[in-house]
Amino acid sequence: MKISLEWLREIIDVPWEANELAQRLTMAGLEVEAVESESSRFPMVVIGEVVERVKHPNADSLSACKVNVGTEVLEIVCGAPNVDAGQKVAVALVGAPIGDFVIAKRKIRGLVSNGMICSAKELGLGDDHSGIMVLAADAKIGTPFREYLGLTDTVFEIGITPNRADALSHIGVARDVAALTGAIVRKPEVNVVESKTQKADKLASVEVKNPNTCPRYSARVLRSVKIGKSPEWLQKRLQRVGIRPINNIVDVTNYVLMECGHPLHAFDYDKLDGHKIIVRNAAEGETFVTLDGKSRMLRTDTLLICDGSRGIAIAGVMGGQNSEISDGTTNVLIESAYFDPSAIRRTSKFLGLSTDSSYRFERGTDIENTIYAVNRAAQLMHEFAGGEIAEGIIDVYPDKRTPKQVIIRTARVNAVLGAELDIEEMIGACAKLGFTPTKKTDVEFSVTIPTYRPDMELEIDVIEEIARIIGYDRFAPKTPYISMHLPLRSSPPPVDVREKIRNTLVAQGYTEVVTSSLLDEHAAELFSEKLVHLANPLSAEMAVVRPHPLPQVLATIARNIHLGTKDIRIFEISRSYERAENDSIIVEKRFVGKEWLTVAACGATSAAWDSKPRQVDFYDLKGIVEKLFHAGALDKFKFIPYNSVEKSVYTPVSLSVVHGGRTVGSLGNVSPSLLKQYDVDASVCVAMIEIGAMQSGGKRPQYVPPLRFPGIVRDLAIVAPTEKSAQEIGETISRSASSPLLRAVRIFDVFEGGAVGENNRSLAFSLEFAADDRTLRDEEVAEVMSKIMNDLEQRHHFTIRSS
């Protein structure tokens, strides 16, 4: 937002120069992002007089001019149709920066041009580029153009944070200057001279059908005005703060907006059907043409300003072409309303339309400022456009709001700020801000918050303001005291399971991704029917809470593949939510959530000197899951084929992950039909594990010393039914041995077909035996092997092929 120092000084006495004021405002929370002095504008642009103008000999549309700039007479080629001898003009000399280019001496159709005669648009002073800007006859030749314009002002560009809607005006900034200096804010006095022949409530009526989103609507009527240009001083002020002058009526609404921060709108009174104002919600799909000429489709939550038969403005955002002020306007109705910030924000975002008005309304304006703003506008319109002001104000304000009161505890203030302020200093800071102190005791006091500070809700908000006004530099930095109560023999703090997961997967070459927990309903329906919908989504693409850990991971893979990355290794720690009841709105206890680890891979493995690249597969993910469980010192986990719950996600090559007798996850190849939904033409393997299962039941890792004595290895080949998994058979071998000498059972070969027979397969295991206190004898190992084979044959009915 731009603030004119000249304008500001009319409202309050500022004891500092521009740069010091900028520094003090910044330290007080209004960050000044830029300071632009008008004295630096228009370098090398001077006032000249066209002493001769003839037709260019080589171009019908150009003129060859001689221009006296005080120190010399320059020959300049000009293409403006209105240039003529005797005119006083603005001349950009060679070397002057104009817009994005620098004026240079150059030939134009054979004649040398030594500068440029400027139009208003070329100088950034308006939109007129039909011809050069002709200055007053008494303009002095050779005078710098900035001096002719009286450019002595300084303009601040201030970055206003979203909570400081009160500072979006010159009066708002003046209040902060007053808090810093103790000076008095000179709010412009309003003296409305009303006509006694016409009453406003007889000329127009206002009906508010939705007082929740429009708690107050004030209006005034002016008759017999004359549309024209605003005074030059007002136009300059608007230009300095970035607003283009239009006419004396519209300019006044903009001037009052920048002065006191309250948006206004002026309607052509004679274009209002029935001379009525009706504030209502739009019908679903209702269309409206705004001032920019665009037809916009509205929703039922869009607040619409209407006359007796149609919409005439989108409340708080933009007016319509059907009621705008034009050169033929003679009667005006001024709107000065308060609209609910959230309603205006929704409308502005939905329409993709942000204006000076919506910018302020959606942050919160002052509901008690509507009368002052409409009176100030009526006064200035009467002054600049003539006419008469109808008697009275139409003011629909059914539910008057009372200022908020906040209790401030002195101990809390000092604890938060790390200071030793006394209660009088706190009350003084609040009083400087316009917060009226009441009900003072020794340990606390209360303040009444003015209505122009809607951001002040809690005690901590006021504490922040106290610190801001007293000055952050008053508070010395202190190291916080931390009390350490540790036992004499303290154990190291436990490592969070999520960090263990991250460390393990990153070491395996995987990259963590973080995706949004919100997605569109179509994508969510691929994974669950029990969706949790947001009551007020920002967009259709963010309408549903993630019901499953996989959709955003697949979307990430799809996006990377489309960008050319084929070999992908990613993981995400996320939460998913499903409805617990037949209610789609997020309310406590109506939905259930789980935290998941999702690991996904596709593409080829890395090449090595002893191996060629191959496509990552189901078994790579199985190995990753085993590493994760081992990293967490979790045992008693197993894999069970075919998870019926996830049939829509996986191909038949899939496993359930079971830990402690409970299914805690799954892994497998994603089904082609699901990949097609994401336009992924590649094989993708995923594993999904509940985080809760990985942080429960784990044992502290124990150090195991290396074997001091050599072990013995025996191989065992078994013919078993195909449905028996290798893990299940390995566990059977360990139970059959029932001996501490058997240290490990590992599968190293699988054979099917041939002599093995149909529905059978041969699995070869390597059995490792060892003892901690001696070298084993063959007889000891043979005894355990015999026990294993007898149990496998007689009890489990497996066939021993070799041993």
Residues 688 and 718 occupy one common structural domain? no
Flag whether the pTM goes above 0.85.
Answer: no
Q: How far is it, in rounded angstroms, from Cα 378 to Cα 193?
A: 9
- Tell me what the mean pLDDT of segment 708-713 comes to: 90
Strands 591-602 and 684-690: antiparallel
The answer to whether 779 touches 726, Cβ cutoff 8 Å, is: no
**Domain final position from 396, 414, 435:** 396
Please check whether residues 619 and 754 belong to one and the same domain.
no
pLDDT at 484: 58
Q: Which residue, among 226, 155, 220, has the nearest Cα to 1 in the 3D structure?
A: 155
Is the predicted pLDDT of residue 442 greater than 90, yes or no? Answer: no
Over residues 395-410, the mean pLDDT reads: 94
541 in a structural domain: yes
Q: Which is more confidently placed, 439 or 213?
A: 213
In this model, does residue 702 exceed pLDDT 80? no
pLDDT mean across residues, the chain: 89
Any idea what the CATH number is for the domain that residue 200 is in? 3.50.40.10
- The CATH number of residue 588's host domain is 3.30.930.10
Verify that 86 and 32 share a domain, yes or no. Answer: no
SS (H, E, C) 313-327: EECCCEEEHHHCCCC
Question: Pick the residue with more confidence: 358 or 753?
Answer: 358
How large is the C-alpha radius of gyration of the chain? 40
766 shares its domain with 653: no
Over residues 80-105, mean pLDDT: 93
Give a three-class secondary structure readout of 577-641: EEECCCCCECCCCCEEEEEEEEEEEECECCCECCECCCECCHHHHHHHHHHHHHHCCCCCEEEEE
Question: How far is the C-alpha of 369 from the C-alpha of 366, rounded, in Å?
Answer: 5
Residue 487 lies in a domain: no
Position 579 pLDDT exceeds 60 = yes
Write phi, then psi, for 494 (nearest 5 degrees). Answer: -65, 140
**Final residue of a structural domain among 695, 722, 755:** 695
For 96, left (φ over 0), alpha (ψ -120 to 50), or beta? beta
Which residue, of 695, 730, 757, is where some domain finishes?
695
Q: What is the pLDDT of residues 631-667, one digit of tens each?
A: 765 666 777 776 444 556 877 768 888 877 788 888 8
Q: Is residue 480 part of a domain?
A: no
Whole-number Å distance between alpha carbons of 267 and 277? 10
Confidence (pLDDT) at 181: 93
Give pLDDT, residue 629.
80
Asked if 558 and 618 sit in the same domain, the reply is yes
| Residue that the structure tokens 């705004």 belong to | 290
Residues 243 and 371 in one domain: yes
Give residue 754's pLDDT: 78
Query: Which range (125-129, 198-202, 363-367, 547-551) has the least confidence?
Result: 125-129
Amino acid in position 594: K
Is 108's pLDDT higher than 80?
Answer: yes
Residue 521 inside a domain? The answer is yes
Q: With 0-12 CB in 10 A as exposed, 13-18 as middle and 19+ as buried, what is 422?
A: exposed
The tally of domains found in the chain comes to: 6
At 116, which CATH number? 2.40.50.140
- Region of 434 please: left (phi>0), alpha (psi -120 to 50) or beta: left
The verdict on residue 134 lying in a domain is yes
**Nearest CA to 81 among 57, 63, 104, 59?**
63
Residues 223, 362 share a domain: yes
Burial class of residue 779, CB neighbours in 10 A (0-12, 13-18, 19+): exposed
Average pLDDT, stretch 365-381? 97
Q: What is the pLDDT of residue 636?
A: 66
The per-residue pLDDT for 587 is 46
Residue 449 backbone zone (phi > 0: left; psi -120 to 50: alpha; other: beta): beta
Q: 145 and 224 share a domain?
A: no
- Looking at the domain assignment, is residue 489 inside a domain? no
Give the tens place of pLDDT for each residue, 18-52: 999 999 999 999 999 999 888 788 999 999 999 99
Domain shared by 222 and 352, yes or no: yes
CATH classification at residue 451: 3.30.56.10
Per-residue pLDDT of 608-629, as tens digits, reads 777 788 888 888 888 888 888 8
Confidence of residue 584 (pLDDT cuts 50, 70, 90): very low
Residue ranges making up the domain that contains 116:
42-149
Dihedral sign of CA atoms 272, 275, 281, 283 in order: negative
Residue 275 and residue 388 in one domain:
yes
pLDDT reported for residue 700: 60
Residues 546, 526: Cα–Cα separation, whole Å? 11
In this prediction, residue 180 carries a pLDDT of: 93
CATH number for position 782: 3.30.70.380
Q: Cα separations (Å) of 458 from 29, 449, 527?
A: 19, 11, 42
Answer yes or no: is pLDDT of 358 > 60: yes
Could you tell me if residue 536 is inside a domain? yes
Token pair in block for residue 62: 């150009």
- The proportion of the chain whose per-residue pLDDT surpasses 90, expressed as a percent, equals 62
Residues 211 and 354 in one domain: yes
pLDDT of residue 92: 96
pLDDT band (50, 70, 90) for residue 581? low
pLDDT at residue number 253 = 97
pLDDT of residue 701: 62
Based on the fold, state whether residues 211 and 262 are members of the same structural domain.
Answer: yes
Rounded Cα distance between 452 and 169, Å, is 12
Q: Pick the range with the lowest mean pLDDT from 72-76, 156-160, 535-539, 620-624.
A: 535-539
Q: 705 lies in a domain? A: no
